[in-house]
Amino acid sequence: MKKGVLLYCFNTSQLAYSRITERCVALIKKHLRLPITVVTNFETFKFMKPMGMVNYKLIENDTKNNRAGKPWYNLERHLAYEHSPYDRTLVIDVDYFCYTDKLLKLMDTENDFLVHKDAHDVMWKTDMRFEREAMLDIVWATVLIFSKTPRVKAIFDTVKLVKDNYYHFCQLYRVSYKNFRNDYAFAIALEQIGGHRDYDIIKDSIAMVPADAKCRVLKENGAVVEWNGKVVSLEDQDIHFLNKDIMYV
């Protein structure tokens, strides 16, 4: 079975995701040693430094979504089934840094679709469960692992349906976050496909560095981050950086 990693990278006027992707790719090569495909647009591709053996898929991405008044290009993940050249695919955000081989082990399981349900703020300053924001549990589309099976194709087809009718599904599930968010789109699709029954999840919690934290040091095996005078050293664990200042460290 052909296995690989699929990344989505689109620069905005505020953020150079291409620089973050360079770090992400280096860590994937070190700890996962899987083939990598980067889905990007031509404008972003021009800013990418050579990263060795990496495949590229150039598309014209949807640029209509925004968050807090700033461009937020997150509208392509529902096409991962079509974009992936692999039988077994790991999709991660480019600001999710693999400091371990944990995800490689999950790639060898028999589950045809896996996603996280739990995440935690590494500074423990906020709850990340969001039970009151919708009538269903959120999932974290930060990491997706899937095989190309009919059931998984149905999941992605349902995510497309949710995306195209997002306001309707927000009303149906009382999702208070009305700007399109993959986390809710995949949560709704899994509820619909599974007949509101439980589905397979990645059983640990994503370590999230909050957006208003500062990254002081990026190390070979982790990072040192600071928030409100509190400093935390994170080592030998995978980390999702919501604070995009990592591009400057």
User: Which structural domains are found in the chain, ordered by start?
Assistant: 3-210 (3.90.550.10)
- Determine if residue 57 is left, alpha or beta; phi over 0 gives left, psi from -120 to 50 gives alpha, anything else beta: beta
Q: How confident is the model at residue 198 (pLDDT cuts 50, 70, 90)?
A: confident
Is the pLDDT assigned to residue 147 strictly greater than 90?
yes
pTM of the entire predicted model: 0.95
Is the pLDDT assigned to residue 87 strictly greater than 80?
yes
pLDDT value, residue 128: 76
Place of tokens 């889905």: 39
- Determine if residue 113 is left, alpha or beta; phi over 0 gives left, psi from -120 to 50 gives alpha, anything else beta: beta
List, for residues 4-17, the tens digit of each pLDDT value. Answer: 999 999 999 889 99
Which residue, 149, 89, 144, 95, is CA-closest to 116? 144
List, for residues 53-78, the tens digit of each pLDDT value. Answer: 999 999 999 998 888 778 889 999 99
Is the pLDDT assigned to residue 131 strictly greater than 70?
no
Is the pLDDT assigned to residue 207 strictly greater than 70?
yes
List, for residues 11-56, the tens digit of each pLDDT value. Answer: 998 899 999 999 999 999 999 999 999 999 999 999 999 999 999 9
List, for residues 163-185, the tens digit of each pLDDT value. Answer: 999 999 999 999 998 889 999 99
Q: How confident is the model at residue 237 (pLDDT cuts 50, 70, 90)?
A: very high
pLDDT value, residue 118: 94
